Amino acid sequence: MQRCLKFFGLTMIALEVSGCAVSTKPVDRAASQQRAQADIKAMFSQQEPVKGPITLQEATARALKYNLEARLKVMEMALAENQVSLARFDMLPKLAADAGYVTRDNYSASSSRSIQSGNQSLEPSTSQDKTRRVGDLTMVWNILDFGVSYVSAHQQSDKRWIAEERRRKVVHTIVQDVQSAYWRAVAAERLLARIDALIERVNMARENSEKMTTEKVGDLVEAYSYQRALLDASRQLEEQRRALSLAKTELATLMNLPLETRYTLALPNENQLTEPTLNVPFSTLENAALVNRPELREEDYQTRISAAETRKSILRMLPGVEFSAGGN
């Protein structure tokens, strides 16, 4: 017994020492570079090249097909579908199989001894071979586990619909962002030259006003007020120019195009553009938003999941009935 305790103590000390000695090496920079190149290749692979000017419909289609966030939500939806399938398997009976090989160097023999006289009443005998194969197959079905798994499967199905609502939200956001970026890019194609000319005129007018102020021509207060107004106008024009100039880059990002990709936009005819009208009552729009909003529909599914979790807690308090069958 004392030897066993010493051996156990030495084993524990060896395990602690080996555990403290475990360490990992930092990720090699070459491996990170290789991973980055593989990521870049995967990001822009299997994409149709840009051919000709891009229309709003084509930009929307490319964004919905190639945008990384949209592709991520599609993969999350597929994962949720697989989780539903796995949850259904939990309702099936549990099947366990075991097999082994047992051997020993002598026979497992036994004998009988008389309690009254103490003499051996039966010579040593055995009922087992020295080497034998063993195996068993057992099937167990618990009614309580089946009920809990049934509720869990419903919860997982609701989580799948939550993933669908999140994907729908991303699709709506991408479509809105593409429309905004596209029309700002179209405006940039038509207005940047005009804005540059206007900025030049404003700067020229400010320089002339400063020159007149230096020469003390006219009222100085009015001149300074005029120069301040010109500075505000110049600042606003610069901000507008910056926003318009970034629209094309933002649109390329939404379509998942490499930033060095050169592309042109199909400029619509100004005479064919009409102001959209919305002849729908406000109450109808409000009701449609409350019914179809992805965030609110997600909360509806979360409510059902929480109610199912309560039913699972009640089921776990019940006694379980188990049926088992097997062979050895």
Q: Give the tens place of pLDDT for each residue, 302-318.
A: 999 999 989 888 888 88
Give the pLDDT score at 303: 93
For tokens 């090989």, name the residue.
101
Give the pLDDT score at 301: 92
Q: Tell me if 182 is assigned to some domain.
A: yes
Q: Tell me if 137 is assigned to some domain.
A: yes
Instruction: Report the range of poorest mean pLDDT among 9-13, 73-77, 159-163.
Output: 9-13
3-state secondary structure of 96: strand
Q: Tell me if 225 is assigned to some domain.
A: yes
Domain interval for residue 199: 52-268+280-327
> With bands split at pLDDT 50, 70 and 90, how would you rate the model's confidence at 290?
very high
CA distance 155 to 152: 5
φ, ψ dihedrals at 43, nearest 5°: -65, -40
CA dihedral 263, 269, 270, 275 (to 10 degrees): -100
Question: In angstroms, what is the C-alpha Rg of the chain?
Answer: 39
The CATH number of the domain holding residue 174 is 1.20.1600.10
Return the closest-CA partner of residue 155 out of 303, 286, 7, 48: 303
141-188 pLDDT, tens digit each: 888 888 888 888 889 999 999 999 999 999 999 999 999 889 888 888
Q: Tell me if 215 is assigned to some domain.
A: yes
178-234 pLDDT, tens digit each: 998 898 888 888 777 787 778 788 878 777 777 777 766 666 677 778 778 878 888
Per-residue pLDDT, averaged over 311-326, amounts to: 84
Largest CA distance in the chain: 142
Give the pLDDT score at 172: 92
Q: Tell me if 285 is assigned to some domain.
A: yes
Q: Tell me if 256 is assigned to some domain.
A: yes
3-state secondary structure of 133: strand
Return the closest-CA partner of residue 110 out of 123, 94, 96, 97: 123
State percent of the chain over pLDDT 90: 12
- Residue with the bigger pLDDT between 5 and 123: it is 123
| Number of domains present in the structure of the chain | 1
Q: Is the pTM of this model over 0.75?
A: no
Per-residue pLDDT, averaged over 113-121, amounts to: 78
Q: Is residue 122 within a helix (H) or strand (E), and if so which, with residue range? A: strand 120-126
What is the per-residue burial (b if ≥16 Cβ within 10 Å, else e) of 175-212? eebbeebbebbbebeeeeeebeebbeebeebbeebeee
Q: Tell me if 24 is assigned to some domain.
A: no
Q: Tell me if 233 is assigned to some domain.
A: yes
